[in-house]
Every structure is written in C-alpha cells, then in structure tokens.
Amino acid sequence: MVDIGSYLVGRETGTWPSASTPAMDMLYAAVRKDGETLEGMEFEHCTFANVGFKTVVLRQCRFTNCAFLNCYFRKCEMMGTAFIGCKFIGCDFPHATVQSCDFKYSRFEECSIPFAEMEHSLPREPNLREDLSHILSIASDGLGLCSDGRKYRLAAIQAKEEHLKAAILGNSDWYQRHYTGLRKLKALVQYVASRMNGIVWGHGEKWHVLIGNLLVLAVAVFPAALWIAQDRFQQPANQLGVKDLIWLSVTTIIPVDGAVSVAATDWVIRTILTFEALVGVVSAGLLVVCPNSFGINIGNLKSSCCRFIL
C-alpha cells in the first residue's frame, strides 16, 4: 500500500482560488466540486485528498507536482488541462473524458484511466510516452484491467522503438548529443531485438503471430533444411519424400504419436532436429507464459495479466 500521509505533511487547508490567483502548497480535503466548471485555474505542489470531481469540467487548468489521493472523477471532463509531474493514487475515473491534456512525468498507482481516453493525450515525445504508457500498463494490470494493460504495453513498445530509431538516426540535436558511439550502438541492438521480438511473437501479446511463424517453420523452413541434407540420412531415411520430411519436422517441433522413424546419426541432421525441437519447447513455453492472450479466464487474479515490456 502507498503511504499517503507524506503527501499531507506541511500543507495548509486552502480555499479554491480564482483563475487569476495560482494556489501553492495547499491541501484540499473532503470537498465536493460536483458539477462545477473549473477554468484557467493553476495549482502547484498542492494535495487533493478525497475530493469529488464528479461531472466537473476542468478546462485549461494546470496542476504542477500535485497529488490526487482517493479522488473521484466520475464523468469528469478534462479538456486542455495539464497535469505535470502529478501523482494519482487510488483515484477512480469511471466514464471520465480526456481531451488534449498533458500528463508528462505523472504517475498512477492503484488507479488507471482507460486507454481509449488517454490514447490521444499521451506525450508526443517517444521516451516520455513510453514511460507513461509503461506506468499505466502496470497500474491497469494491478486492477485486473487486462485489455487496457495490453494496449498500454503495446503503446509503450511502439514508443520505445520510435525513441530508439530517433537515437540511431540522430533525428534532433538532443539525440545527437546524447547518443554517440557505444550508446548509439546499444540503441541499435535494442531496436533490432525489439523488432525481432515483435516479428516472432508480437511481443507476447499476439499469440497468432507465434502460431503462424511456428507453422511456417514446421512445414516449410525445417523440411527444406532436411531436404537439402537428406543424403546424410542413413537408409532407409534417405528415401523419404517431401510429405515424410514435413511430417518428421512437424512431429519434431510438436511431439505427437506417429513420428517418422529415422536414424539421425549425422551431426548435420542431429543439429537441425535438435534446434527444431528446442524451438518447439521455447514456443510452448511462451504460449504457456501468457494464457490471457488466448482469452482464457483464470479468475480475478491480478497476476492473470501478462507483462512484457522489452
């Protein structure tokens, strides 16, 4: 549990300011602002504890380094509002609307905003977008909101790849200054690894990608390798036809009854079949790791959501 007491220390109970008077270092506790329109207000280093923002319209407001503790944002409309470096702890956002808002450097603990509402208010900067998406994916998973958690994870991965690509190409003066030499090489390795992860099995979020690639390997790639090396089989295996080689490949990568009996004594054949068997074991493990990708309902366990952010 988060210790929220530290956010209350040193704060005086304040009155709600007008649009022309910024509030600093104030505490707003157990207040209902239900149905009000708050426009052009500024708050800095303030704490909002158990404040009701039900059906509130937040228009062109600015919150800097503020903490929202157990606040209620039901049907709250946030439009053009900035939450810079804010912390949202244990808040509720049912049916909240987020339009053109700024959440740079903000943190969410024990609460989350639906991805559909936050998607267009994520930071434009890829490194900041990756950080916030990652935070929201963890928060969503912790609440059992697996669908939103998955969408935030994919958004974080996309942002990370965009960030790494910009670092490799030196798309701005900042990237040119911060990514040189070994750092640029490291970014290249990470980018290639992330792309390969997505191609092979969709970063653990798209099981059908892994199944499709597994089928291609089983019925095309490995049978082709066995066909090229078929003269290394001992008799009578060197008389195997294309269908036999495909079946041998399939029963190696996915062990089933009825496998073709061959004498794989040559090191080339052994290497191919061993590598294929290893691919099958690893693929099976990847599928088991993320049962939620199949839509399997395993109860309300918070751990049921998969977390992959490579």
Q: Mean pLDDT across the chain, nearest whole number?
A: 83
Residue type, 180: T
Residue 86's nearest CA partner among 132, 40, 152, 51 is 132
Using CB atoms within 10 A of its CB, is residue 108 exposed (0-12), middle (13-18) or buried (19+)? buried
Q: Is this prediction's pTM over 0.75?
A: no
State the DSSP code for 42: E
> pLDDT (tens digit, 9 = 90+) per residue, 206-216?
667 777 778 88
Q: How far is CA 6 from CA 3, 67, 105, 123, 183, in A?
A: 7, 11, 19, 28, 38
Reported confidence tier of residue 304, pLDDT bands at 50, 70, 90: very low
In the chain, what are the domain boundaries?
5-203, 207-292
Residue with more model confidence, 241 or 126: 126
CB 35 within 8 A of CB 13: no
Predicted confidence (pLDDT) at residue 146 exceeds the cutoff of 50: yes
Using CB atoms within 10 A of its CB, is residue 60 exposed (0-12), middle (13-18) or buried (19+)? middle
Residue 280's nearest CA partner among 221, 203, 199, 237 is 221
- Run of H or E residues at 141: helix 126-142
Query: According to DSSP H, which parts of 92-125 are helical?
Result: 115-118
Report helix, strand or coil for 108. strand
Look at residue 298 in the predicted model and tell me its pLDDT. Answer: 36
Using CB atoms within 10 A of its CB, is residue 12 exposed (0-12), middle (13-18) or buried (19+)? exposed
At residue 24's C-alpha, the angle toward residues 19 and 26, to 5°, is 105
Reported confidence tier of residue 228, pLDDT bands at 50, 70, 90: confident
Instruction: Domain 207-292: give its CATH architecture.
Output: Orthogonal Bundle (1.10)
- From the CB of residue 297, how many other CB atoms can be counted at a distance below 10 Å? 9
DSSP 146-198: HHHHHHHHHHHHHHHHHHHHHHHHT-SHHHHHH--THHHHHHHHHHHHHHHHH
